[in-house]
Chain A
Amino acid sequence: MAVLDQTDVFVTIAGMALATYLPRAAPLVFLSGRTLPPPVVRFLGFVPAAVLAALLFPAVLAPGGGLDLSVGNEFLLGSVPAALAAWRTGSFFGAVAVGMGTVAALRFFAG
């Protein structure tokens, strides 16, 4: 394990904080209350679904960095009951618990 200089780490964290805050704050400060053109509003309405899927799919389809559609992919198998729970019950917590429980059980019994 490399020995990290904690002062350097903190300077990096401060830079990360700025790099994260600017894109979060700029549109709120400059666009708030303005009426955006309808196509832009429609576009932004699709952003939540698009970004969540863009974050989710690679994590589940290629958990190790390479495409894995086999039954050995615990994340892929765990996603099925999690998605069913989310869709059928509408329970956020239920979906997370069922997903994590499935993955933990698969690892316990298979590994």
Chain B
Amino acid sequence: MSAAHPAGGFIWRAACRVAPVVLGYVPVGFAYGVLAKNAGLSTANILAMSVLVFAGSAQFIAVGLLAAGASLAGIILTTFVVNLRHLLFAAALSPSLGSWRTRDLSLLAFELTDETFALHAGALRDGPLSRAETLAVGIMAQAAWVFGSALGAVAGASVGDVRPIALDFALPAMFIALLAGQVKSRTHLAVALFSGILSTALVLSGVDRFGVLAATLAGAALGTLWQSLTKPTSS
């Protein structure tokens, strides 16, 4: 499919692939900007967090903790734990990136989120990752995130409540759309159901920081075990 495009059309191909995430990131970034503004962050800091951290859920959590007067160390530790799942994303992509230079890998890592990882993992199923296209996907996604944050920071005081326009559902809706693209077998469906229910149970029992990571590890381990029992020779 991509062979039909002229060389150098990677910007266009990246834009097509990242478009759905851009359409999700602008409203979610907007919601983050509004919340952060109302929590008392300056516009410069709201943008700094979106540029330097670029991690949706961690940014929402940090804004809540800052507003609640949590300690610096507490917020950084929480961010670390919440974002440990990125270790798995990076590990999953790394075997196919052998020819990449460290400089490009460093940039790819900076742009690695739940959503861009899902896009990269999807592209990887169609063949090797194109370096320029993959990096462009990340940069465009972050540009959308920063743009949405800026709109939210500016509109912050006058919006106040993001509920009537359902901006608080933009993130779950994006997870649904990404998940639909990842459920490629019954085993994947079972893993998703198991991890989702376990994660919910952990949240309900008060394990809110390690919950997502623990549920991910347990679900993926169960899927691996099941696959090796039923199809021991395939990889």
- Say yes or no for A70: interface residue by CB 8 A criterion: no
Q: A42, A52, A93: which contacts B114 (Cβ < 8 A)?
A: A52
CB proximity to B under 8 Å, residues A69-88: 74-75, 78-79, 82-83, 86-87
Q: Contacts A4-B41, A28-B105 known; A86 to B83 CB distance under 8 Å?
A: no
B171, B177, B187, B191 — most chain A CB neighbours (10 Å): B177
CB proximity to B under 8 Å, residues A32-51: 32-36, 38-39, 41-51
CB distance from A99 to the nearest CB of B (A): 4
A-B contact pairs, 20 of them (CB 8 A): A9-B42, A16-B75, A20-B58, A24-B112, A27-B87, A29-B102, A31-B91, A36-B91, A38-B235, A50-B215, A51-B88, A52-B179, A53-B199, A53-B219, A54-B195, A65-B203, A92-B21, A99-B173, A107-B163, A107-B166
Q: B76, B109, B183, B187: which contacts A19 (Cβ < 8 A)?
A: B76
Q: B55, B97, B198: which contacts A28 (Cβ < 8 A)?
A: B97
Alpha-carbon gap, A95 to B224, bound state (A): 29
Are B94 and A28 in touch, CB under 8 angstroms? yes
CB distance from A62 to the nearest CB of B (A): 6
Q: Which residue of B lies closest to A89 (CB)?
A: B180
Name B's interface SS: helix
Contacts of B19 on A, CB cut-off 8 Å? 93
Contacts of A35 on B, CB cut-off 8 Å? 95
- B residues whose Cβ falls under 8 Å from a Cβ of A: 19-21, 23-24, 27, 38-42, 44-45, 48-49, 52-55, 57-58, 62, 66-67, 69, 72, 75-77, 79-80, 83-95, 97-100, 102, 105-106, 108-110, 112, 114, 117-118, 121, 163-167, 169-183, 187-189, 191-200, 203-204, 211-212, 215-216, 219-221, 223-224, 227-228, 235
Alpha-carbon gap, A21 to B113, bound state (A): 11
Q: Which residue of B lies closest to A94 (CB)?
A: B177
Q: Contacts A20-B55, A25-B105, A62-B204 known; A55 to B177 CB distance under 8 Å?
A: no
> Interface range on chain A: under 10, 10 to 19, 20 to 34, or 35 or more?
35 or more
Q: Contacts A95-B176, A104-B165 known; A56 to B196 CB distance under 8 Å?
A: yes
Contacts of B228 on A, CB cut-off 8 Å? 39, 42
Contacts of B62 on A, CB cut-off 8 Å? 12-13, 16
Contacts of A9 on B, CB cut-off 8 Å? 41-42, 45, 66
Are A46 and B94 in touch, CB under 8 angstroms? no
Are A28 and B109 in touch, CB under 8 angstroms? yes
Contacts of A59 on B, CB cut-off 8 Å? 171-172, 175
CB distance from B207 to the nearest CB of A (A): 11
CB distance from A56 to the nearest CB of B (A): 4
Are B166 and A103 in touch, CB under 8 angstroms? yes
Alpha-carbon gap, A29 to B106, bound state (A): 8
CB distance from A55 to the nearest CB of B (A): 5
Alpha-carbon gap, A53 to B183, bound state (A): 10
Alpha-carbon gap, A43 to B57, bound state (A): 24
Are B84 and A28 in touch, CB under 8 angstroms? no
Are A86 and B91 in touch, CB under 8 angstroms? no
